[in-house]
Structure 1
Amino acid sequence: MSERKRQDFPLHRRAKAAAVLALAAVALLLAPGAAQADTTGDHCVYNLVREDLTCADSPEAALAASSVGLQADTVLLRMYGDTNYGTSTGTHTLTVPGSHTCSSAYSPVEFTITHMGSFTNKASSVRTYNSCDVKLFDNDSATGTSSTWIDALANLNTASGGWANRASSYQVS
């Protein structure tokens, strides 16, 4: 093999490999995504660490669909579209992978959810888990008027300031 052919051969192999990788990337983008979560349905689960939203037709189905791998997710809170923890108009559940217990102090804030997506201004009751409490905010990015810290409340209208159908973002501690 001549000197020129020996030099061109590695370049040809690299170009071919790059073309194969490009085709594989396009195939992954166009393939129906098993990794892409369903975001239709009235009951949604937001996983803080994975930063993904999974929705389904029931709270249980949404939670099951959002679980990935062998490590179970821990529910930190669930907001309900109805008073008295009713689920007929939807739910918004916040999870983290593995186990997590919130600190007993409100400061520092452990998690801030800056936007509630389709559940904005829909929460009518809320329940927290694993020693967590929630503070609701009128505006996105945890700004505007805020509620007091809430552990569980069957009717958010009974909170000071009336918080049913009002929250756009929240903090967890």
Structure 2
Amino acid sequence: MAEPTIRNTPLRRRVKTGAALSLALAAGALALAPSAANAETTGDDCVYNIVREELTCADTPEEALAASSVGLQADTVLVRMYGDTNYGTSSGTHTLTVPGAYTCSSAYTPVEFTITRMGSFTNKASSVRTYNSCDVKLFDNDSATGTSSTWIDALANLDTAAGGWANRTSSYQLS
């Protein structure tokens, strides 16, 4: 018995048309995705994607995360700094993400990420929380130099860290 074949039948044309339409829609979605050049940068809550080097801001941390997501794969949050103590968001947030899944190593060396530009959040962090096994080291200078904090996992009041780190962070490292 011969294998059934589908030549130029209405069903085959619909399959081809559906595939072409899906491809066109996917290309259109990519064309509409925000890029570093046109990402929204107004609002007190900002997300910086280290791989795409893209800063996206909005009125809430959740809106900023949603606006920064591109494609089907969700971004992974590695650190969030808060403008208020006790992880309060009324004075804004700064969140660092990477595309896809990521877990920091358990060692502090080598450093996995160095963030040297914090934009409008420079010297505003009052509390910090890390995720996915990451720890953060805060620096006075914007080039990850100068005085630094110890490695921090989560701290509800950066003034309680040795040296007092509230409203002092200009750059940071993750490991």
TM-score (norm 1): 0.80
1: CA distance between counterparts of 2:110 and 2:143?
16
Q: State the shift of 1:34 in Å.
A: 5.1
1:141 — aligned with what?
143
Query: Which of 145, 155, 160 does residue 158 from structure 1 map onto?
Result: 160
Q: Is 1:81 equivalent to 2:83 in the alignment?
A: yes
Matched residues, number: 142
Residue 158 of structure 1 aligns with an amino acid whose one-letter code is: T
Q: CA RMSD in A?
A: 1.3
Q: Verify: 1:107 aligned to 2:106, yes or no.
A: no
Q: Which runs of 5+ in 1 are unaligned?
A: 1-31
Q: Which residue of 2 aligns with 1:49?
A: 51
Counterparts of residues 117-136 of structure 1 (less than 5 Å): 117-136=119-138
How far has the Cα of 1:115 moved from its partner?
Answer: 1.5
Letter in 1 for 2:62: E
In the TM superposition, residue 141 of structure 1 has moved relative to its aligned partner by: 1.1
Sequence identity (%): 85
1:67 and 1:34 map into 2 onto residues whose CA distance is 9
SS at match of 1:112: strand
Structure 1 residue runs of 4+, over 4 Å off?
Answer: none
Cα distance in 1 for partners of 2:56, 2:34 equals 12
Task: Tell me, yes or no, if the aligned pair for 2:33 and 2:70 is still in contact at 8 Å.
Answer: no
Q: How far 1:65 sits from its partner (Å)?
A: 0.1
In structure 2, what is the Cα distance between the partners aligned to 1:118 and 1:165?
A: 12
Match in the other structure for 1:65: 67
Normalising to structure 2: TM-score of the pair? Answer: 0.79
More helix by share: 1
Distance 1:100 1:168 in 2: 24
